[in-house]
Amino acid sequence: MNSIISFKEVDIGADGTIRCSVIRDGDTSEFYIKLPYSFQPRADLVATAFVLIAGRAYEHIHIDLAIGPQLHSELQKWSNSQIVARKGIDTRRSPGREKVLNFSGGFDSMAALALEPNAHLVSLDFGGRFSRERQFFEKFQPNIIETNLVDLKLNRYSWTFMGIGALLFRDELNISSYAFGSIMAGSATQLVNHPIDQQKQGLPPAQYFKMECANPVSGLSEIASMKIAALYRPDLLLEILKSVALPEEGKFLRKYQMLEAVLADLGMDYPLPSNLPNRPRGIKWGESLATDLSALYVMTVLGIEHVLQVYPQGIPDEILNFASTSQMEFMNHINPHAYQGVSYEQLSSWYYKMIRYGITPFNREHWHQMTETVELLSYSYHD
């Protein structure tokens, strides 16, 4: 762990902009979070947002705000850090009534929107090379939060920085639950063996604020979520594709091939662009289970040769042999292990909508296929 990160001279402005100085290793940077309109989140929400950004990367987190003793204890427990802040009083809150979706505009968050069409949308605008994301997601009129945290490399400590928007809107929108477009990807190895409680996988400090995690697409693969997105908004498929990556990136080609496979599965005649770069930046097999899992599925649908160009360093022989002889139909279905801790009322709403999109729960054969596939991939990484 690093030693100390400090959020000093914090100003929660009446114009809706939060400003402070961030001090790390003797270097000082000016950090801002600009809310979409002029409201002032309470200090305990802002302090918690800073801790979500720092994650567990520092032994000490200094915050120039006042927080109550209960929240102080919760933040220390979660961050495994010594939190230094001014003494304040804990704020009592009643449970909220509204839902919020952290919306990036990609295929997975589009599928989440299809399942939660009435949720408030919150999007983060990081600027720079991420500007293409805003060009797309602003079509849905989300609450857009502008921040320079990526410029300052404050996004490198923990994935939880992605939840600061939902957190800061907790009181303003009267939030009861928050969602991400989090799919069955890296969690696949766990989901084979046992259910995952969504409350334990979400933002730990959120429970203090009476906010529950409710991720609608967590039991779906990239393939299944893309199918829902394709059926929900077929008119936007190309725009979504362009928003997730640049054409010369390996990620773009990977998503392009996934979309080809999905459209083939659905029997949809959709005009995809043909002028792709001849030599896109490739991906190395074994670096990401989620990436390789989807690529393996595409091989079973479109053929091995179709996918090899994404992996210029090659694909292990045992993977190629598996792709030529196996089925991965489980990628088109719902893994129920991903929804532990979600109310039956909420789950029934999601299941109803997913089934209407042709995505049904796992049967015995799907469990067998998933176990076999995950064991193969885990072995490949071990080697």
Kindly report, residue by residue over 317-337, the tens digit of the pLDDT: 999 999 999 889 999 999 999
| pLDDT at residue number 177 | 96
| pLDDT at residue number 167 | 96
E strand map for the chain: 2-12, 17-24, 27-34, 58-67, 82-87, 98-102, 120-125, 143-147, 175-179, 212-213
Structure tokens at 303: 């053929």
| pLDDT at residue number 383 | 45
| pLDDT at residue number 278 | 63
| pLDDT at residue number 280 | 60
Domains 2-87 and 98-221+335-358 share a fold: no
Structure tokens at 188: 């696949």
Question: Strands of 120-125's sheet, edge to edge?
Answer: 82-87, 58-67, 2-12, 17-24, 27-34, 143-147, 120-125, 98-102, 175-179, 212-213
| pLDDT at residue number 323 | 93
The 10s digit of each residue's pLDDT in 247-272 is 777 788 889 999 999 999 999 988 88
| pLDDT at residue number 289 | 84
Q: Domain limits of the chain?
A: 2-87, 98-221+335-358
Low-confidence ranges of the chain (pLDDT < 70): 1, 129-130, 275-281, 379-383
Instruction: Judge whether 231 and 355 are in contact, CB under 8 Å.
Output: no
Domain 98-221+335-358 sits in CATH at 3.40.50
| pLDDT at residue number 382 | 47
Structure tokens at 237: 């498929």
**What pTM was computed for the model?**
0.92
Domain 2-87 sits in CATH at 3.30.420
| pLDDT at residue number 60 | 96
Cα(203)–Cα(170) distance, integer angstroms: 13
| pLDDT at residue number 5 | 96
